[in-house]
Structure 1
Amino acid sequence: MSQLFPHLFEPIALGPLTVRNRIVSSGHDTVLDDHGHIGDDLVAYHEARAQGGAGLIVLQVSGVHETARYTSHVLMATDESSVPGYQAVAEAVHRHGATIFAQLFHPGREVMDGERGMAPRAKAPSDEPQERFKVVPEALTTAEVKDIIAGYGRAAKRITDSGIDGVEIVASHGYLPIQFFNPGVNTRTDEYGGSPQNRRRFLAEVVAAVRESVGPDAVVGLRISGEEKTEDGLVATEILDLIDHLDGLDHDGRDCLDYYSVTAGDSSTLQGAVHIVPSMQVEAAYATNLSEQVKKITDKTVMVAGRINQPHEAEAAIAEGRTDMAIMTRAMICDPEIANKSQADRVDEIRACIGCNQACIGHFQQGVPISCIQYPESGRELTFLPRPRVRARDKVLVIGGGPAGLKAAAVAGEQGDEVVLCEKEPHLGGAVLLAQELPYRSEFGGAATNLTAEAARAGVDIRTSTPVTQALIDDIVPDHVIVATGAQQRLPALEIADDSLVIGARDYLREDPNLPTGRVLVTDWKGDWIGLGIALRLAEAGRHVTLATAANFAGAAIQQYTRTLLVSQALRTGRIEFLNDARLVGVDADTGYLQSTLCEIVHEVADVAATIVSAAPRSVPVDLDFGTASVTVIGDALAPRTVEEAVYEGLTAATEIAARQRTVPA
């Protein structure tokens, strides 16, 4: 038992089952399905978290009705073809002592994909339009409503008969069950609309149908947003009244529900959707105030999601009575072993999630399998794990101590090679150290901290303030060289008057110069964190800013939920003017000139005291003789991109080195 986290590792009863600890991986779409079924990739993904010590694993949503297909890759539990997948993942998770549930789902009007790129078609209580996905749903007939309710029961029985321990009804984030309860979405006049009693009838009948179908021995839970946190959304008092009603439902003397999984937010608006996967701008464990309110009205188990990324956050929430179980989903995407490490009090070894949302929910929203920028093995378990061990140690020289080089060095060291990493600067981390200087981005520095610690634990000989010279290469005589020298700042071709101040974004972040009084023009070539972050930093310091981006809009390259919070904060300052689809072409004493990317128009921004330019960087070349060593160039040294590509290429470069050697299983 952990000395640091005694509450977190205390077993807990859920209905007739006992879960070994309080750590939960909640339902989250992985895009690891196999044509709508559970395949080998998804089994391996969840098995890694079970092996890593998670107490409870909840599978991603399973559609309960043919009208529940909200994406092209949703799992479906509507026929017997789904059974082998549920059996396989149940066996894999149980093999490591964890408990596994599956989510029962219908999106209602929250549909993202249409068939082959066509506009989505959705079924909902009424034809009230959905703002975020621009969907106008078809109103369900009464007969269709009853068929969907029956579908919940049929899917629940099919899943639990397959060996899954329980099911979780998804009524969170504005999905179908809560659409029926929301008077702004449900304008029906039949038995499922109108009065509060009628509006909660759908969910009550779903709960009853599920319990009747699975019997007394399976666990049944409810996932619900404690508050929708959007304009005209449901507030906490309304949700608590609904839970209070559901809490009293029973079937043959057995409670219908065994637990509540509390989250926040609503999918129908950008404002509410940020709470589906809150990014690093949001306070850790912020939703525990909602779970605490639920605990006051029920004696059933309560779990909560909302940026619980560290074991001490989970321990505190449980010890203080704000929740019974802690949902740590992204923490386990980033580090599947976080539970085992926490239980053994090896907290310094935890690879902490930084809440960037880039490769987890960001990948899902692109329709590709999820992963993690710090741990690209996530979602690729069958490709990269278990880590091989080399039979004979080769010498590996890694040039550059940014994310790419650190990951390559760590993996090569873990595989058993003799690794030397040289960084010319006195510190490790590369461009990550600049990223953490931006507002609401400070946690990004954790990526460098985590990767540095992994390399050190792997026995890497880390040499800072050490440029790689020909003499050093001749001394080491490496068998393999990995070039990860990163990228450097460059400015585009501009017409610049002699008396105008123009500074590159990297120089600005490194030097933090005193800029002259007046408006600052920030130009942004990509629509990523840099331009928007610098503009926000200046505005919060009291400066007036024009943010001109060559992208369609500020933050276009940032994951949607993260961008929403950043731009909303920028709007609140009242000091930033936005100019989209415009590239900088010239600057004189007090004016910036920007060419429209769409047509021949030239925009003039007047009264400019200084211009900060975020432009495409340039790879740093290496011109050395590596002799007979194999040479691999990775990350920004290959082509400037993001941390995600850098870390992934560090992993693949080291893995390929092992493949060239005779290896043995880990």
Structure 2
Amino acid sequence: MSTPSPAFAHLFEPLQIRGKRLKNRIMSSGHDTSMPTDNQVNERLIAYHRARAEGGAGLIVLQVAGVHDSARYTSHVLMATDDACIDGYRRLAQACHAHGTLVLSQLFHPGREIMESSDGLLAVAYSASAVPNERFRVMPRALDQAMIDEIVAGYAAAARRLHQAGLDGVEVVASHGYLPAQFLNPRVNRRDDGYNGDLEQRLRFVREVIAAIRASTDAQFIVGLRISADERDPEGLTEDESLAAVQALQAGLDYVHIVAGTSASLGGAVHIVPPMAIEPAYLAREAATFKARLDIPLFVTGRINQPQEAELILARGQADVCGMTRALICDPQMPNKTEAGHAEDVRACIACNQACIGHFHKGLPISCIQHPETGRELVFGALQPSLKPRRVMVAGGGPAGMKAAAVAAQRGHRVTLYEAGAQLGGQVLLAQLLPRRSEFGGASTNLQREMERAGVRVVRNTRVDLALVQRECPDVVIVATGAQPYWPPFERGGELQVVDAWQVLRGEVQPGRSVVVVDWRCDWIGPGIAEQLTRAGHQVRLAVNGTHCGENLPLYVRDQLAGELHKLGIAITPYARLYGCDDNTVYLQHTASGEPMLLEDVDTLVLCQGHQPLDSLGAELQGQVEFHRIGDCLAPRTAEEAIYEGLKVAWQL
């Protein structure tokens, strides 16, 4: 075994929990993957977790396992309500144990937090009391004693099955406003029986669950509890309430795992998977408070992106284990790289939320925009060296071109990447300039490091054309020349200043006092431009060609952004199609009614109308050489598609 870098001595210090040994303090915390089929563990899910175990994670906590039929909060949730689940869990545990990684599973009942059903019908939801959920607009039915007993027995039976499958323990999910938290919360629990009143009465349900789990397993089986340190909602659990609860429960637990937020409201749900606008490692203070008041290990999860952040939390004594889930989604090898002294090679998560939780909310298997191999381990799990190395020319140094170049070189091809400008990164260079989006620049930094390690030759300030291709005689050309802003045809009269988002971000124009931003994409560009100009002192109105601002964004990114725009007082007009402009008026058309909408006293119109391909090179190369288009020059989309296509084409060479 290698000696860990002194810079990460705390991160790689083992930890004993109920006789089990965590080899390090890095945890992949429970997160839904949308990978299961028929509510059971499958080969795709096993391959996903095996990759993180191979990468060196000390602890993997599996996604929620439903303990009762009424716990089906999505159509693809894992269920531990039948012995048929045991074999899949056993194979998953064995795959991770082979690499020295401990495996727990979350035990789960959402209560009133029901997102969807498997057949489109609204489910009957249950809670401590008939208090509605704001986010999903669910009015639950209050649990009666018989059903409470049935659910408690379900926790016990699920734990027995997981124990029989060879897992090391379970984590009871009392976080994010789910059923145990609904009993704990005096503003949700309005019962008039022995389950409500003082703290001890509100703890009764959780105590019964923990006792039932203990009775159905053995003395070596780990039982932990996840809870929100603060639900970040006016009606949610406060820090004092959560702390008092875990202090009272700790005698029956092996650890407490804190997070933040609640599923019950849009503002609280942002903290389930906090986006890049939220400060990294932002729960360190709460973790320190909880750890100082507990006698058992304290785990913390919340935007801990990099090993340096985790090491600092551990060194300060603020927690015993750090959940680094998205860091491991982005780079499964993060623990191994760090332990070997190569932390600079870690592909850092940028918390864009696009392909991880963003995919989940669409009911799709999770992945990562920077590492599209994630979730596709059965296809891209083991890099295959090329049997016939080729000379590869890549035209374009944006995300698509860089990923294609790195993977092609890793496979043994001789790769040269040409970039027309002085800097690599493509549109990432612009994305990072928007408010609270600076971390997006990490996507370029990470890809450049991958190319460097793979031995890609990079030539800057050189635009690829047919003449260059004919001089260099590559075997294959990968065209990744990107896109440019799209200016749609619209009626223009008068002298109103009209510019596009790229010109604003590059500082090429000086907008006037009163600005209208027209947003066709309904992503983060239009709102970002609106926020940036507002903070610079302009009066800004945002017109979006959608039902709401950020319609195409991952939900937590959208909601956090909507909150910021509201605080800034930016007026938003939905259902707005750009029609035209004159000296000081922007003319819009309502996309549903077709009626005109006018925005007057305008000095500058900023176009955020999407992009169009830059594909002149592809036309030149037709019939001249083997070539492949990837990314925006094929069709303007996002960084996720660009990087995936870079991986895919390089894999096929």
Matched-pair contact (CA < 8 Å) for 1:41–1:382: yes
Give the partner amino acid of 1:597: T
Two-structure CA RMSD over aligned residues (Å)? 1.1
Q: How does 1:253-332 map to 2 (within 5 A)?
A: 256-332=252-328
Q: Given the superposition, is the C-alpha separation of residues 62 and 459 from structure 1 closer, same or farther in structure 2, using an over 3 Å criterion? A: same
In the alignment, structure 1 residue 224 sits paired with structure 2 residue 219? no
In the alignment, structure 1 residue 334 sits paired with structure 2 residue 334? no
Q: How does 1:323-472 map to 2 (within 5 A)?
A: 323-472=319-468
Offset at residue 160 of structure 1 (A): 1.2
Residue equivalent to 1:527: 522
Offset at residue 630 of structure 1 (A): 2.5
Q: How does 1:645-660 map to 2 (within 5 A)?
A: 645-657=641-653
Range moving further from structure 2, 67-76 or 498-507: 498-507
Residue equivalent to 1:251: none
Offset at residue 513 of structure 1 (A): 2.4
Give the partner amino acid of 1:588: D
Offset at residue 627 of structure 1 (A): 5.7
Give the partner amino acid of 1:174: G
Matches of 1:347 and 1:262, distance apart in 2: 26
Could you state the TM-score of these two structures normalised by the residue count of structure 2? 0.98
1:189 alignment partner, one of 186, 189, 192: 192
1:210 alignment partner, one of 184, 208, 213: 213
Matches of 2:335 and 2:422, distance apart in 1: 34
Matches of 1:512 and 1:84, distance apart in 2: 61
Deviation by residue 1:569-608 (Cα, 9 ceiling, x = unmatched): 111112x111001111111111111111111211111111
Matches of 1:508 and 1:232, distance apart in 2: 41
Offset at residue 508 of structure 1 (A): 1.6
Matched-pair contact (CA < 8 Å) for 2:515–2:603: yes
Deviation by residue 1:494-539 (Cα, 9 ceiling, x = unmatched): 22224110001112212352222x2100000011011000001111
Q: How does 1:594-633 map to 2 (within 5 A)?
A: 594-621=588-615, 622=617, 623-625=619-621, 629-633=625-629
Offset at residue 31 of structure 1 (A): 0.7
Matches of 1:200 and 1:314, distance apart in 2: 31
Offset at residue 193 of structure 1 (A): 2.4
Range moving further from structure 2, 7-16 or 390-399: 390-399
Q: How many pairs were matched up?
A: 648
Matches of 1:532 and 1:264, distance apart in 2: 26
In the alignment, structure 1 residue 552 sits paired with structure 2 residue 547? yes
Residue equivalent to 2:246: 243
Question: Secondary structure of 1:275's partner?
Answer: helix
Matches of 1:100 and 1:232, distance apart in 2: 34
Matches of 2:623 and 2:418, distance apart in 1: 18
Q: How does 1:156-195 map to 2 (within 5 A)?
A: 156-195=159-198
Could you state the TM-score of these two structures normalised by the residue count of structure 1? 0.96
Matches of 1:453 and 1:284, distance apart in 2: 22
Deviation by residue 1:132-153 (Cα, 9 ceiling, x = unmatched): 0111111111110011011111
Give the partner amino acid of 1:52: G
Matches of 1:317 and 1:304, distance apart in 2: 9
1:92 alignment partner, one of 77, 92, 95: 95
Deviation by residue 1:329-376 (Cα, 9 ceiling, x = unmatched): 000000000001111121111100000000000000000000000000
Offset at residue 478 of structure 1 (A): 1.6
Matches of 2:218 and 2:98, distance apart in 1: 24
Give the partner amino acid of 2:202: R
Give the partner amino acid of 1:62: A
Deviation by residue 1:239-279 (Cα, 9 ceiling, x = unmatched): 1111111013xxxxxxx210011101100000100110001
Give the partner amino acid of 1:547: L
Matches of 2:198 and 2:6, distance apart in 1: 52
Matches of 1:199 and 1:210, distance apart in 2: 19
Give the partner amino acid of 2:584: D
Residue equivalent to 1:70: 73
Residue equivalent to 2:236: 233
Matched-pair contact (CA < 8 Å) for 1:120–1:135: no
Deviation by residue 1:148-181 (Cα, 9 ceiling, x = unmatched): 0111111111101111011110000000011011
Matches of 1:98 and 1:378, distance apart in 2: 19
Matched-pair contact (CA < 8 Å) for 1:479–1:628: no
Give the partner amino acid of 2:307: P
Question: Secondary structure of 1:220's partner?
Answer: strand
Residue equivalent to 1:150: 153
Question: Secondary structure of 1:4's partner?
Answer: helix
Structure 1 residues without counterparts, runs of 5 or longer: 249-255, 658-666
Residue equivalent to 2:583: 589
In the alignment, structure 1 residue 29 sits paired with structure 2 residue 25? no
Matches of 1:262 and 1:289, distance apart in 2: 11
Question: Secondary structure of 1:624's partner?
Answer: helix
